Amino acid sequence: MTDVEKKQTGAEELWIGVVSEYTPELAERLGELLQDLSQHYKGGAVPREVIEEFIESPWHDIVLAVRDEKIVGMLSVSVVMGALIHKNAYLEDFVVDAQCQGGGVGTALFRYAKAWGRRKGCARLEFTSSGKGKKRQAVDFYLSHGASIRDTNAFRVEL
């Protein structure tokens, strides 16, 4: 990892940092975490080329939370540019291991994502959450960390 922050959470240290090197173990663990995030993800290691695209790009990063040498959370963050907005950061793939939820991992990752966006010159951090089922807990988390719900719709077109 590069660009690492160390946080003390209770008796344990939590390391937050950007992925700087591909390993098969990293790819496998990311796949395990993402399986908890989305019912559409069928599991398996994240492809090497996906991780390497993040590593090579100055506008996209995969951020990890590591405790006791185990990846306990992750997120992806990207810069989105537009003529009107100039630069915003966009948060994707935000997930914390179920056994670690409520222990400060999500808060540390979220703070890191906001700081990352500021360092990239972004005005805002944007993201979506369905707010349905177990995702209701995510909405409550975001609201407790200063997020507001926008009056807009999220659309998707398959390419």
Predicted confidence at residue 154, as pLDDT, reads 75
Predicted confidence at residue 131, as pLDDT, reads 67
**Token pair for residue 64?**
């990890």
**What sign does the CA torsion over 23, 25, 31, 34 have?**
negative
The H helix count followed by the E strand count for the chain is 4, 6
Question: What pLDDT, in 10s, does the model give residues 106-148?
Answer: 999 999 999 999 999 999 999 887 766 666 777 777 788 888 7
Say how far apart CA 40 and CA 28 lie, in whole Å.
17
Backbone φ and ψ of 91, nearest 5°: -95, 130
pLDDT in tens, the chain (159 residues): 555 555 544 556 899 999 999 999 999 999 999 988 877 777 799 999 999 999 999 999 999 999 999 999 999 999 999 999 899 999 999 999 999 999 999 999 999 999 999 999 999 999 887 766 666 777 777 788 888 777 777 777 688
pTM for the structure as a whole? 0.84
